[in-house]
């Protein structure tokens, strides 16, 4: 490999004198002729024309054509990995003229993540820039309400700095034309509504799919899920106040949301939900400004986020900047070309994102949080206690959790907890509005002479949906909707 990593890149000038030296102007020119794509990185020049078609992030790579990769890679730090640098090295064609190198260094912005908030050290970090961290399993079911600091954080971009005094929420697609609301408007004009709802990332438990065959995405364990109380204005109240009625309903089908977090091109994170969910009295969709009784934390969307109970995390847009009532779904990458499910037989060469609907309601899910994989159960205790969570999308209530110690040959029914007070069970949620998870627990006698146990859990929801027993039949290239029976192996000593 002639590619020299990181800060050492400049020394490649002396180590590889045979490579031609290009000016920035020449690099840009090469990118505009013959559909070539040339880029620079840390003083080297690359002709990545052939790589564009196989770039895992799609066409976005073209945004860097003719210029430096650094500003883009600063946003998507996943590129800093050795294997990415190895791939890039294969396309090296020259050296960037030193003066242009210096100019680039001066022009490159500071670390866009430098203003991200501090995070709790207990979070298991899956990527630091953007920040993605999950709750460790042992803490996940300690309390029915997940403390905000320990709640999983899933960011695609730097956390935007929003001044609450200057915050404006734009509303489009209603008879009143474009409306702009302040934070105070939202708090004072509409009744405050509180909902306890579980938020789960589509990629929760993706690591189980990776064990079958590598998928693309963050390697989440069982902790990309949490349960919080959210307070704010009901979206339906806000839409009605600004003129939503039968006239709009006759045409519109979706409600789109845009975040204030943007990539280098100014494109915001965005997603949409069906209009029927947004305006339903039973839908409980909130423009939330509080989480667990306090202002939303910066990582969770301060000052306002959408909370769409029962719907995949990706549509719960944080740092909300704009709402559009529309005939169309959001055009965003995350609505159109991500967060969709495919057949196990679909690969990156054959996938057609247009052929699959965007994930909205999530399927039934459960996981064991205690004991943890690879731990040891004390034989002298004669019994073992298991803990976990169970939840289903679309407001479907979890009605049962089955637990096995022998890989699914024999089963026991766990006790369910669905309230903050630890009541087992607490009062049932209104039918079709079971937005919050149930924690479960069970103590089972240890089987005679067992040296190893394969703990399994599976949940059943109010529509009698259950989880598939194995991962292979639901494996998909993005590793979403990973809901097979959760299996944990422990030793008995
Ligand atoms: N909203 C914005 N503006 N930007 C984001 O990156 N991530 C989405 C969603 N809303 C995201 C966003 C995804 S994929 C998930 S799973 C949830 O936020 C995570 O919410 P949390 O970080 O509050 O747990």
Q: Give the CATH number of the domain where residue 175 resides.
A: 3.90.420.10
Residue 319 and residue 387 in one domain? no
Residue 317 and residue 387 in one domain? no
CA dihedral 420→422→427→429, nearest 10 degrees, is 50
Q: Which of 279, 310, 342 is at the close of a domain?
A: 342
Cβ pair 480, 359 in contact under 8 A: yes
Q: Is 79 a catalytic residue?
A: yes
Mutate to test the pocket of ligand 1, among 160, 289, 313, 482 (most ligand atoms within 8 A of CB): 313
The ligand 1 atom at the shortest distance from the C-alpha of residue 339 is: 14
- DSSP labels for 151-204? S-EE-SSPPP---TTT--EEEESSTT-SEEE-HHHHHHHS--EEEEEEEE-TTT
Domain count, the chain: 3
Instruction: Look at ligand 1, atom 12, and give the residue with the nearest C-alpha.
Output: 317
Domain assignment present for residue 463? The answer is yes
Instruction: Look at ligand 1, atom 5, and give the residue with the nearest C-alpha.
Output: 155
**CATH number of 79's domain:** 3.10.120.10
Marked catalytic residue, from 5, 55, 119, 379: 55
pLDDT the model gives residue 61: 84
Q: Which of 342, 357, 384 is at the close of a domain?
A: 342
272: β partners:
256
Q: Is 55 a catalytic residue?
A: yes
Where do we find the tokens 């976005």? 60
Q: Is 101 a catalytic residue?
A: no
Cβ pair 468, 483 in contact under 8 A: yes
Cβ pair 176, 243 in contact under 8 A: yes
C-alpha closest to that of 169 among 186, 189, 152, 191: 186
Q: Could you list the residue range(s) of the whole structural domain that residue 84 is in?
A: 6-107
Instruction: Look at ligand 1, atom 22, and give the residue with the nearest C-alpha.
Output: 153
How many angstroms is it from 155 CA to the middle of ligand 1?
Answer: 6
pTM of the model: 0.86
Cβ pair 329, 272 in contact under 8 A: yes
Domain assignment present for residue 85? The answer is yes
- Where would I find the H helices in 319-472? 333-336
The ligand 1 atom at the shortest distance from the C-alpha of residue 319 is: 3
Domain assignment present for residue 352? The answer is no
Domain assignment present for residue 84? The answer is yes
Q: How far does the chain reach from its first CA to its final CA, in angstroms?
A: 49
pLDDT digits (tens, 9 = 90+) for 23-45: 999 998 888 766 789 999 999 99
| Burial bucket for residue 267 (CB in 10 Å: 0-12, 13-18, 19+) | middle
How many angstroms is it from 305 CA to the middle of ligand 1?
Answer: 9
Domain assignment present for residue 116? The answer is no
Run of H or E including 446: none
Instruction: Look at ligand 1, atom 10, and give the residue with the nearest C-alpha.
Output: 317
**CATH number of 389's domain:** 2.60.40.650
pLDDT the model gives residue 34: 66
Residue 216 and residue 166 in one domain? yes
C-alpha closest to that of 124 among 468, 377, 334, 372: 372
Residue 330 and residue 432 in one domain? no
Residue 226 and residue 178 in one domain? yes
Residue 101 and residue 130 in one domain? no
The ligand 1 atom at the shortest distance from the C-alpha of residue 153 is: 22
Domain assignment present for residue 163? The answer is yes
Residue 41 and residue 12 in one domain? yes
Residues 6+ apart with CB under 8 A from 334: 156, 269, 270, 271, 314
User: Quick check: CB of 456 below 6 Å from ligand 1?
Assistant: no
Residue 186 and residue 335 in one domain? yes
Residues 6+ apart with CB under 8 A from 321: 168, 169, 170, 258, 259, 260, 268
Domain assignment present for residue 1? The answer is no
Q: Which of 107, 134, 166 is at the close of a domain?
A: 107
pLDDT the model gives residue 72: 82
Residue 381 and residue 291 in one domain? no
Residue 146 and residue 76 in one domain? no
Domain assignment present for residue 348? The answer is no
Residue 224 and residue 282 in one domain? yes
Residues 6+ apart with CB under 8 A from 157: 75, 130, 261, 262, 263, 269
Cβ pair 445, 405 in contact under 8 A: no
The stretches in the chain having pLDDT less than 70 are 1-17, 33-34, 108-109, 421-425
Residue 313 and residue 207 in one domain? yes
pLDDT the model gives residue 17: 57
pLDDT digits (tens, 9 = 90+) for 340-351: 999 999 999 999
Where do we find the tokens 């004009």? 189
């Amino acid at each position: 490999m002639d590619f020299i990593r990181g800060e050492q890149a400049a020394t490649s000038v002396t180590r590889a004198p045979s490579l031609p030296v290009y000016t920035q102007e020449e690099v840009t020119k090469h990118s505009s002729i013959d559909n070539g794509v040339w880029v620079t990185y840390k003083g080297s020049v690359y002709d990545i024309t052939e790589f564009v078609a196989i770039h895992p992030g799609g066409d976005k790579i073209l945004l860097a054509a003719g210029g430096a990769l650094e500003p883009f890679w600063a946003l998507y730090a996943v590129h800093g990995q050795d294997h990415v640098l190895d791939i890039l090295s294969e396309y090296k064609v020259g050296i960037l003229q030193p003066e242009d190198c210096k100019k680039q260094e001066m022009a490159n912005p500071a670390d866009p993540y430098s203003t991200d908030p501090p995070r709790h050290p207990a979070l298991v970090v899956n990527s630091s820039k953007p920040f993605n961290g999950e709750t460790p399993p042992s803490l996940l079911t300690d309390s029915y309400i997940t403390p905000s600091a320990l709640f999983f954080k899933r960011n695609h971009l730097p956390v935007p700095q929003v001044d609450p005094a200057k915050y404006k929420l734009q509303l489009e697609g209603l008879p009143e034309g474009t409306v702009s609301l302040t934070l105070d408007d939202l708090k004072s004009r509409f009744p405050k509504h509180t909902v306890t709802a579980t938020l789960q990332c589509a990629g929760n438990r993706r690591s189980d799919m990776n064990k079958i065959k590598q998928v693309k995405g963050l390697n989440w364990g069982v902790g990309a899920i949490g349960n919080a109380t959210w307070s704010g204005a009901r979206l339906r109240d806000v839409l009605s106040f600004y003129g939503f009625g039968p006239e709009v309903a006759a045409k519109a089908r979706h409600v789109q949301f845009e975040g204030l977090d943007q990539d280098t091109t100014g494109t915001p994170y965005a997603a949409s939900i069906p209009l029927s969910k947004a305006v339903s009295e039973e839908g409980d969709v909130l423009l939330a400004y509080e989480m667990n009784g306090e202002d939303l934390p910066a990582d969770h969307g301060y000052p306002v986020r959408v909370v769409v109970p029962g719907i995949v995390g990706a549509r719960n847009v944080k740092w909300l900047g704009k709402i559009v009532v529309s005939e169309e779904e959001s055009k965003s990458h995350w609505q159109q070309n991500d967060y969709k499910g495919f057949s196990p037989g679909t690969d990156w060469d054959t996938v057609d994102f247009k052929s699959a609907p965007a994930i909205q309601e999530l399927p039934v899910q459960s996981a064991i949080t205690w004991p943890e994989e690879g731990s040891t159960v004390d034989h002298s205790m004669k019994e073992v206690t298991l803990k976990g969570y169970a939840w289903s999308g679309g407001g479907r209530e979890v009605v049962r959790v089955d637990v096995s110690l022998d890989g699914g040959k024999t089963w026991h029914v766990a006790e369910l907890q669905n309230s903050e007070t630890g009541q087992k069970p607490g009062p049932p949620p209104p039918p079709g509005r079971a937005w919050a998870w149930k924690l479960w627990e069970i103590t089972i006698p240890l089987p005679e002479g067992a040296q190893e146990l394969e703990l399994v859990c599976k949940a059943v929801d109010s529509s009698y949906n259950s989880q598939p027993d194995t991962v292979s039949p639901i494996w998909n290239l993005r590793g979403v909707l990973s809901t097979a029976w959760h299996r944990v192996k422990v030793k008995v000593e």
